[in-house]
Structure 1
Amino acid sequence: MPTSSPAGPLPPADGLLSAARRNLRELAHELSHVSHPSTPLLAGAPKLWQRLLPYVVVLALAATFIPVTITVLADDYGVSGALAGALGVAQAAPLLMLAHRPLQAWWIIFPADVAGALVLLGRPAAQHGVWPWTPPVIVAYLFLLLAVGLRETRRTVIGVWLVTGAAGALLHLISPDRSDGSALLLTILGAVVLVIGGAVRERGVAQRRLAEQETISEAERSHRTLLEERTRIARELHDVVAHHMSVITVQADSAPYRISGLPKAAEEEFTAIAAAARESLGEMRRLLSVLRSDGTEGDRAPQPGLDRLQQLVEATVRAGLPAQLALSTELRSWPGGVPPAVDLSAYRIVQEALANVVRHAPGARTQILVAPDKGHLLVLVVNGPAATRASPLETSGTGHGLVGMRERVRLTGGTLDTGPLPDGGFRVAARMPLPPPTAPVAPPTSPA
């Protein structure tokens, strides 16, 4: 009968073997394929000296370890000059690759270190010689492992460490009498170095991902702010347009009763106009019904305009902000009147600009100018620096204010200019087109 453990049946032997083979294949794949592009370490650093630092380090390592390795092999271990030079170059020259290809450097240095240990095995044992890894090999290999830990994945790092430890253990078994513990020392120190390099690499990866998420979140917030402001503007314009469409409908419906003697064709034309206006009004309300999800009465209230700017400024002054309004009287008698969209946008721009002054520069003296200028309505709000050194009510805003101003001005076909002033204040200047003035029509003269 098949045996079973208290925790459940044991897995079949073929399953363990297949899992081991699969893990070995994955490990071999990780060791033979780099997990990063051939970009140098610190390639994205902001300063030039930081980008050049890895090259300086690898040049210093190679220039140091090539002659030291050759000298130690020739003087301490009695290796011939040509063989010592070949081994020294093979074991230390690939350190030049640590800045961009540390795993490929490991594939060269590790076999060279093993070959060097086998060569030393055939030489007489030195009195103070360290085997299987010589002192230069141990130190240079630790730099190599640090570079691997900084660039490669966790699986690759574990594979490099396992192969290194296995090679050291195998060499120890080949000649235990000559082994003095350097294999174990390199395995322990290598584990520490790999853990440090892997921790630094994973921390850098986490920081990059966090920065990417913050960038994505900022873009999403900006897009959401833009959509919210467009929704708000659409709601207000819906009220304005709906009012005028309703007036057109009422006038077209009542025209046959207010004007006597209309021909039949004119009455039919007024009826068609009223029906078209009524249908357009219904379509617009259905299209924008989703924008009235809250259904508050404030949405259906009459929208403010230039005639309420004085009240807005007086309320701001009562709140403690010294503000002065210069509203041109020409706007009251402007031919054709100020368009509703421009009228509402001008009020909202002044309102938002004053709110920004209250939030970010409390007590700052503010000047508001609203006047016609070369066929445009000029809205200028300029404030000075904060009156006191007290902290502002808000140090960072949501961005809704400037986005809303920009959207409103763009909707009317105007331009917006905002920015700080040299004295520490802020300036908001909007220009929105006004209808061209039309010459008054002269009354007809009666015949003599």
Structure 2
Amino acid sequence: MSTGSSSPGTSSLARLRALVRRVVPASARGPLVALATPTRPGAALLADASSVWVRRLPYVVAFAFVAALLPVTVTVLTNDYRLNGALAGALATAQTAPLLLAVTRPLQAWWVIVTADFVGALILIGADGTPGQQWPWTPMVVLGYLALMLAIGLREPRRTLVGVWLVTGAAGWLCELIAPDLSQPVHVLLFVLSGVLLLITGTLRERGDAQRRLVEQETISEGERARRTLLEERARIARELHDVVAHHMSVITVQADSAPYRIPGLPDAAREEFGSIAASARESLAEMRRLLVVLRSEGTEGERAPQPGLDRVQQLVEATVRAGVPTELSLAAELGDVPQAVDLSAYRIVQEALANVVRHAPGAPTRVSVRAEEDGEWLMVLVVNGAPDGQGSRRAPLEDGGTGHGLVGMRERVRLTGGTLDTGPLPDGGFRVAARLPLRTAGAAPTTKGSSS
């Protein structure tokens, strides 16, 4: 057997909410995956990376750009373009410092930088050293602007990227109209390079966004399948328990109807009370039949056979042996009065456990044990299979996976009766299913434990 029990049914829904909220576990997020994953506004680039050093990398890179470009820009503007020192410092700060903001809000940083670059180009028109130098964009402006394009492309949608690219080209074209004698092809170079970077990073971002939506949809589908499996099992169990409850209600009806004849000398008030009890029981039976119609799914209209119990476990074991699985049965000779719900649940647990052995571990030696414990207070159902050997080792499992119905059904039956369930793999490669069901009253809250695969 290759499947096991996890937590109660609600665990799948909790797991779904966590996966949808985080999309991919943090442990699986490398730098490239995090780089291609769009982050929420205000969050830093690479904020979803698993490593704290990777998450800090954008800040380090931005600080390195500012630390390198700021003094170089001041020096070039002062020495080469012969701009006033104070004005050069202010202009260099406006053109480079916003790169720190680009880590979390690249579009806002772009508005500041593109404005500072354009104003700087206008200021350099009157500078003495501008003729013969690169204009309208200095080499430092080009380098810082391209770094900014990387941050914008990884964050903003396609429409915004197109707008940024067009504004970049329009600013260079406007500068050429203002001072055609000073203009050089550097603005065309910046326009082309910024477009290439925006195209590459935008494509990377959109690909990551598509992968994120795909994983989210698959997660939702997985959660819906788990919930549908749980609901189907609950409906099937409810249909099976209809016969059990109907039997008890029928007994109540017969006893209430026959009480005036079996007990002589009953007062009229007692006769009326028994009649009222019988009428209520008959009405409850009618309501249960209507409920069964609601619960009955397609293809189950012909279910008329009596519900099985522990008296048919021997037949299950014989059928399993005929399927090629060597199986031993240890069934207590005297179990006492087993409640019908427990009797049915124990049979279904053994049935599903043996079916899993046939499907997932053909040929594995299997042991089935059903006995009473603690002075007849609890019924212990144990199904243990070893690793496939002999003929079974040369046969592949009939199924590599499963629908998940079996273990879900076991958990629901155990929860219904107030027992406990323990399932999980064994060190030797086998699997163990142990159910503890109450033979008297369901005292403690039901629990399940185990692992699923």
**TM-score, with length taken from structure 2:** 0.80
- Deviation of residue 327 (structure 1)? 0.9
Decide whether aligned partners of structure 1 residues 350 and 92 sit closer, same or farther in structure 2, where only a CA change above 3 A counts. Answer: same
The question of 1:343 aligning with 2:348 is answered no
In structure 2, what is the equivalent of residue 22 of structure 1?
A: none
Aligned to 2:22: none
Q: Distance in 2 between matches of 1:228 and 1:246?
A: 27
Residue 212 of structure 2 is aligned to residue 208 of structure 1 = yes
1:227-283 Cα shifts (integer Å, max 9, x gaps): 1011000000002222343344456556777x5967685776665554333222112
What is aligned with 1:371?
A: 371
Paired with 1:245 and 1:235, the residues of 2 have a C-alpha distance of: 16
Q: Distance in 1 between matches of 2:433 and 2:413?
A: 13
Residue type at the aligned position of 1:371: R
Query: 1:353 maps to what in 2?
Result: 353
Q: What secondary structure sits across from 2:367 in the alignment?
A: strand
Q: Which structure would you say has the larger RCO, counting Cα contacts within 8 Å and 6 or more residues apart?
A: 2
| Per-residue CA distance 1:65-111 (angstroms, 9 max, x = gap) | 22332333334333344333332222112211221111121122112
Structure 2 matches for 1:198-277, cutoff 5 A? 198-250=202-254, 253=257, 271-277=275-281
Work out which of the residue numbers 296, 314, 324 in structure 2 matches 1:310. 314
State the AA in 1 paired with 2:207: R
Question: Which of the two has higher C-alpha Rg?
Answer: 1
Q: Does 1:386 align with 2:391?
A: no
Match of 1:73 in 2: 77
Aligned partner of residue 127 in structure 2, secondary structure:
coil
Equivalent residue for 2:285? 281
- 2:434 is the alignment partner of 1:432: no
The whole-number CA distance in structure 1 between the counterparts of 2:85 and 2:397 is 76
Q: CA deviation at 1:306?
A: 0.3
The alpha-carbon deviation at position 213 of structure 1 amounts to: 2.1
1:38–1:270: structure 2 CA closer, same or farther, 3 Å change rule?
closer
1: CA distance between counterparts of 2:317 and 2:430? 19
Task: Determine helix, strand or coil for the equivalent of 1:429.
Answer: strand
**Alpha-carbon distance change, 385 to 67 in structure 1, aligned in 2, over 3 angstroms:** farther
Name the aligned partner's letter for residue 332 of structure 2. Answer: S
Paired residues in the alignment total 397
Matched, 1:406 2:411: yes
Superposition deviation, residue 132 in structure 1 = 0.8
User: 1:3 corresponds to which residue?
Assistant: none
Distance 1:100 1:260 in 2: 86
Q: Secondary structure, in 3 states, of the residue corresponding to 2:42?
A: coil
Partner of 1:195: 199
Cα distance between partner residues in 2 of 1:295 and 1:103: 60
Kept in 2: contact 1:248–1:274 (CA 8 A): yes
Aligned to 1:90: 94
Cα deviation, residue 370, structure 1: 0.9
> Which runs of structure 2 are paired with 1:414-429 in the superposition (5 Å)?
414-429=419-434
1:311 partner SS: helix
2:15 corresponding residue in structure 1: none
1:236–1:299 Cα contact (<8 Å) kept: no
Task: Give the 3 Å change call, closer, same or farther, for CA 221–179 of structure 1 in structure 2.
Answer: same
RMSD of aligned C-alpha atoms? 2.5
Q: Partner residue of 1:172?
A: 176
Partner deviation per Cα, 1:188-244 (whole Å, 9 max, x = no partner):
221221122222222222222223222322222221111101100000000222234
Amino acid at match of 1:356: N
Contact 2:82 2:129 in 1 (8 A): no
Please say which of residues 312-321 and 43-52 is displaced more in the overlay: 43-52
3-state SS in 2 of match to 1:338: coil
Question: Retained in 2: the 8 A contact 1:125–1:178?
Answer: no
Q: Specify the code of the residue in structure 1 equivalent to 2:428.
A: D
CA 1:58/1:396 → structure 2, altered by over 3 Å: closer, same or farther? farther
Aligned twin of 1:112: 116
- Whether the aligned pair in 1 keeps the contact of 2:260 and 2:266 (CA below 8 Å) is no
Instruction: Tell me which residue corresponds to 1:130.
Output: 134
Structure 2 Cα separation of the partners of residues 390 and 255 of structure 1: 62
* Structure 1 pair 392–99 and aligned structure 2 pair: CA distance change class (3 A): farther
Match of 1:14 in 2: none
AA paired with 1:92? Answer: T
Q: Which amino acid aligns with 1:204?
A: G
Residue 297 to residue 82, structure 1, CA distance change in 2 (3 Å): closer
SS at match of 1:46: coil
Q: Please, which of 391, 395, 404 is the counterpart of residue 400 of structure 2?
A: 395
Query: Structure 2 stretches of 5 or more lacking a match?
Result: 1-38, 442-453
Distance 1:364 1:76, change over 3 A: farther
Kindly tell me: are residues 341 and 211 of structure 1, through their superposed partners in 2, closer, same or farther at Cα, counting changes over 3 Å? same
TM-score by length of 1: 0.81
User: What do residues 43-84 of structure 1 show as CA deviations (whole Å, max 9, x unaligned)?
Assistant: 122222221221222122222222332333334333344333
Q: Which runs of 5+ in 1 are unaligned?
A: 1-34, 437-448
> In structure 2, how many angstroms separate the alpha carbons of the residues matched to 1:141 and 1:260?
100
Q: Take 1:389 and 1:59, find their aligned partners in 2: how far apart are those partners? A: 62
How far apart, in 1, do the equivalents of 2:101 and 2:324 lie? 67
Alpha-carbon deviation of 1:141? 0.4
Deviation of residue 385 (structure 1)?
A: 2.5
> Hey, what's the Cα distance between the residues in 1 that align with 2:213 and 2:74?
44
Counterpart of 1:329, as a letter, is A
Q: Determine whether 1:159 maps to 2:167.
A: no
1:406–1:160: structure 2 CA closer, same or farther, 3 Å change rule? same
Specify the code of the residue in structure 2 equivalent to 1:148.
I
* Counterpart residue number, 2:21: none
